[in-house]
Structure 1
Amino acid sequence: MKYIRSFAIIFACLFLGKGIQALTGVAIPGSIIGMLILFAVLSMGLIPSHWAKEGCHLFIRHMALLFVPVGVGLMDYLDLISTNTLPILLSTLGSSLVVLIVIGVATHHKEK
């Protein structure tokens, strides 16, 4: 019974997020909006966290399996990825460097 309740909460937030995205037309995917709604609902205490815990643990336990369709979908765009390897590599390294610097500065200032 707890899995049904947990999945109902997760999928309700997902469908609500997809509905908001479809109605507003924002560039943020509906699944991300749904996760933000789930986060907001749980952090405000509107729904007890143990109600969603079982389903979340099940999804996290099988997360590697959920990335298979994405990996297979990337194969459709292999020629596009190979022609743009340098910009992809530079943006990945650049953004990683920015994150590393920001975290380093924030940690340095927090320790003072």
Structure 2
Amino acid sequence: MNDQLEIKNTLHTELISKFFHALSNPTRLKIARKLLDEERNVGQLVGELQLKQSQVSNQLACLKDCGFVTSRQEGKFVYYKVTDERVREIIQLATNVVSDNADYINSCTKL
């Protein structure tokens, strides 16, 4: 029984790590932050972030596959938005922790 619990905990830890990995990419994080308050389509994100359409589309696909954003189609446009309030809270909490520890994080050589 103990082995099963250990396997479950390991899998859970790996999923949590994968969750944070999805937001560890600067482009994905920028996109997620843009989608916190207002839905946008790929073209709008391309213009706002000055990125290539393929980059934005690929990162949106990752965010959508991982459940960070949802989409809806209107005519020929697909609009994306962060709809889970917990994602907003996690990004805000991370922003606060970084603000409080910016010097330490910036000087960290182990990452």
Same fold (TM over 0.5): no
Rg larger for: 1
Q: TM-score, length-normalised on structure 1?
A: 0.30
Q: Which has the higher strand share?
A: 2
